[in-house]
Structure 1
Amino acid sequence: MTTIKDIARLSGYSIGTVSRVINQHSDVSPEARKKIEKIIAQENFQPNSNAKLLKQQIKTSVIILVKGQMNIFLEVILEEVQKILNESGEATSVTFLDEAANEVETAVHQCAERKPRGIIFLGGNINYFKKSFDQIDVPSVLVTVPASGLPFENLSSYATDDIAASAAAVEYLVRMGHKNIGIIGGSASLQRGQIGYRRLHGAINQLKKFNIPFDINKQYEPGRFSIASGYESTLSLLKRNKKITALYCISDIIAIGAMRAVKDLNMNVPDDISIIGYDGIEYTRYSVPRLATIQQDTSGLARKSVEDLLMRINYQNRTANHEMIPFRVLTGESIKKK
């Protein structure tokens, strides 16, 4: 890990000068400041309270708001985020919210009460950000939902391209010979959740590109991001549409419930129904059969989000960033060629 001594050595300036740059002191020449800040950026240096050479305590923790109380995928990211923040000397405070809750409203209340250094939103609804995020002035990061279209200078975002990833999932099913494809999970309403909406319509648009008809009333069943909802939604869809040969479940936990539903309908995966999920959680490597899925880069999402937040906490002149993190298709064993 890069230290303040390394920055001093690489820049050719003393530790004291580097410290004054880090702490935004005015008694540093423009030339020295420019060179030190360039080295800091190149080395991706993240100072904690000790590295800043300040003998003050952290005002309070970094707040982490998790959207969904049963979302295994977000819990994986949470674990990695907390680990990186802890290694950087930052305390964290975690709040789990229902997936229908207003995370920005919660953040506004916590900012008033706790005066956090920064906020990480794991999941979110863009409509809530549009309405209320202007009340938040601390550095923040929205993870798994892109926010590049929002006008907030203190909000970065790191996400997977849900539309492209859903298109890849459906394309794989089509190339395996499936045309009667059902979709499970999320909502057809943009107001109720952007992630589910984007994944649903990314899949539908891809089917259109293949000139494969899709009747949303007969081939889609909405649902929450939970195993139980995946189970119930799959039962409902397969009972009313017996022509379906493959399912795209918009999350792995939904797919796990779907696999059990197929079994309880006296069918088998993949012989009768092929299934592909989305997220790439660890459990899918051990399911029987091994679930095909879209694997998101949880490590990349966590690392980039925390690095971005710490950089903007410690350097006030840093601008927000928005980035899509690559995904990949894991073919698994849950899809049978037609």
Structure 2
Amino acid sequence: MSKSFMRGALSAIAVLPALALAPAMAADPAPLNVGFVYVSPIGEAGWTYQHDMSRKELEKNLGNKVKTKFVENVPEGADAERVIRDLAQQGNKLIFTTSFGFMNPTLKVAKQFPDVKFVHLTGYKTAPNVATLNARFYEGRYLAGVLAGKMTKSNIAGYVGAFPIPEVLQGINAFTRGMRSVNPKAEVRVIWVNSWYDPGKERDAAITLMGQGADIVTHHTDSHAVVQAAEEKGKYAVAYHSDMKQFGPKAQLAAVTHHWGKYYTKAAQDVLNGTWKPTSIWGGIKDGFVTLEGINPAVPNDVKQTVASVEKDIVSGKMTPFDGPVKDNEGKVRQEKGSMSDAALNKMDFYVEGVSGKLPGK
């Protein structure tokens, strides 16, 4: 056998491993599997709808780097724990759990899957692989209250609440303080439906409140039933979570909307980069998490300007919706001066001056 033939054969053999590796090196890395747990149906508007829009924004932003999956209409409690665990077992390495009542189930499953990253929305407990995310919904509520205070004729607003937890009370109280900042005679009446999503109960509560004299109604629940009821009764409504004017083109006074897409994209990119940390983020209007939009054409320009001026003050830090003095509706001073701390806001368990009635269980 000639030496030149041997050299050629050896060269060919040396090239084989490189050729064999080439397809593997050229292949795209496996996408990051991202799971979402929703407390209510996605529907056409509302809390879960906004989260699903943000999930789609994540997909659009990161393309084939991610693959997402969601489970909707998951009750808080044992069912939530089972769904979260299933998503972890299916290989999702980042899981968003999007309701306050998912907090303890998230923490429990996170302990069993230390290599999975979790983000829990509106809760306050973290762990080495659990971050928290919340929005200062109450900032948008205050602006909506200023608008409602200027537009009401009866000086009565109705509020349909899900559960009397701090997050919901912040909204009721901020809305009331916003109303009374421009209309000291304003009064807010609350009906609790004890559900995040029950269109029938939400509608009944709104109709009852309008029957009690409310010419503006709003809600901290997940469906568009309150806006629809206001449209039927010829009253105004402040939509929540989503712009809902398609369900109440004449009724919607404005919408306090929530936006999670930028955060979802960043969290997924951080996991991909290996830089994810269990942060606790509570962002407001300035951070793009909360917006007052879809303002009714019937709102006069001077009222819009008043709302815009207050928004500017909130964004700049000149004021907050809970600057002292803050009194409860029994006359007790809860914040004498300065701004209420985040710790105090997260323990809120009272109605402010201007809200009628007593909290359940008080």
Fold agreement, TM-score > 0.5: yes
| Residue 171 (1) aligns with residue 135 (2) | no
Conserved? CA contact 1:290–1:333, under 8 Å = no
**Match of residue 225 from structure 1:** 197
Counterparts of 2:75 and 2:138, CA distance in 1: 20
Counterparts of 1:103 and 1:195, CA distance in 2: 23
Trace 1:184-263 onto structure 2 (pairs within 5 A): 184-187=160-163, 189-190=164-165, 195-206=167-178, 211-212=184-185, 214=187, 219-223=189-193, 224-239=196-211, 241=212, 243-250=213-220, 253-260=224-231, 263=232
Counterparts of 1:236 and 1:290, CA distance in 2: 17
Per-residue CA distance 1:197-243 (angstroms, 9 max, x = gap): 4423433454566654647xxx222234354333221223333x2x3
Considering only aligned residues, what root-mean-square deviation do their CA atoms show, in Å? 3.8
Q: Structure 1: any 5+ residue segments left out of the alignment?
A: 1-49
- Cα offset, 1:118, TM superposition: 1.0
**Match of residue 286 from structure 2:** none
Conserved? CA contact 1:280–1:293, under 8 Å = no
Conserved? CA contact 1:160–1:296, under 8 Å = no
- Cα offset, 1:183, TM superposition: 1.0
Per-residue CA distance 1:304-330 (angstroms, 9 max, x = gap): 212213312431564535141241243
| Residue 139 (1) aligns with residue 117 (2) | yes
Counterparts of 1:317 and 1:174, CA distance in 2: 43
1:181 aligned residue (157, 166, 170): 157
Code of the aligned partner of 1:245: D
Per-residue CA distance 1:139-164 (angstroms, 9 max, x = gap): 22335x3x4x4333433444431122
Counterparts of 1:115 and 1:259, CA distance in 2: 45
Conserved? CA contact 2:36–2:95, under 8 Å = yes
Counterparts of 1:55 and 1:277, CA distance in 2: 43
1:155 aligned residue (122, 130, 133): 130
Conserved? CA contact 1:157–1:321, under 8 Å = yes
Counterparts of 1:312 and 1:259, CA distance in 2: 44
Conserved? CA contact 2:157–2:216, under 8 Å = yes
| Residue 289 (1) aligns with residue 261 (2) | no
Counterparts of 2:250 and 2:28, CA distance in 1: 56
Larger radius of gyration: 2
Superposition TM-score, scaled by structure 2 size:
0.59
Per-residue CA distance 1:32-82 (angstroms, 9 max, x = gap): xxxxxxxxxxxxxxxxxx9x9787646x83211112125533224314414
Counterparts of 2:42 and 2:156, CA distance in 1: 30
Conserved? CA contact 2:107–2:127, under 8 Å = no
Counterparts of 2:138 and 2:79, CA distance in 1: 23
Q: Which moved more, 1:126-135 or 1:322-331?
A: 126-135
Counterparts of 1:284 and 1:91, CA distance in 2: 32
- Cα offset, 1:331, TM superposition: 2.2
Counterparts of 1:235 and 1:134, CA distance in 2: 42
**Match of residue 277 from structure 1:** 239
- Cα offset, 1:120, TM superposition: 1.7
**Match of residue 273 from structure 2:** 314
Counterparts of 1:221 and 1:334, CA distance in 2: 27
1:85 aligned residue (59, 69, 80): 59
- Cα offset, 1:290, TM superposition: 5.8
Count of residue pairs brought into register by the alignment:
263
Code of the aligned partner of 1:89: K
Conserved? CA contact 1:103–1:128, under 8 Å = no
- Cα offset, 1:95, TM superposition: 0.7
Counterparts of 1:126 and 1:212, CA distance in 2: 39
SS of structure 2 residue aligned to 1:284: coil
Q: Structure 2: any 5+ residue segments left out of the alignment?
A: 1-22, 284-288, 304-362
Code of the aligned partner of 2:237: I
Distance 1:334 1:107, change over 3 A: farther
Conserved? CA contact 1:280–1:294, under 8 Å = yes
- Cα offset, 1:286, TM superposition: 6.9
Counterparts of 1:127 and 1:142, CA distance in 2: 6
Counterparts of 1:166 and 1:129, CA distance in 2: 29
Trace 1:8-157 onto structure 2 (pairs within 5 A): 57=30, 61-69=33-41, 72-73=45-46, 74-82=48-56, 84-85=58-59, 87-98=63-74, 100-101=76-77, 105-110=81-86, 113-125=89-101, 127-128=103-104, 132=108, 135=111, 136-137=113-114, 138-143=116-121, 145=122, 147=123, 149-157=124-132
Conserved? CA contact 2:37–2:74, under 8 Å = no
Per-residue CA distance 1:1-34 (angstroms, 9 max, x = gap): xxxxxxxxxxxxxxxxxxxxxxxxxxxxxxxxxx
Conserved? CA contact 1:85–1:92, under 8 Å = yes
Superposition TM-score, scaled by structure 1 size:
0.62
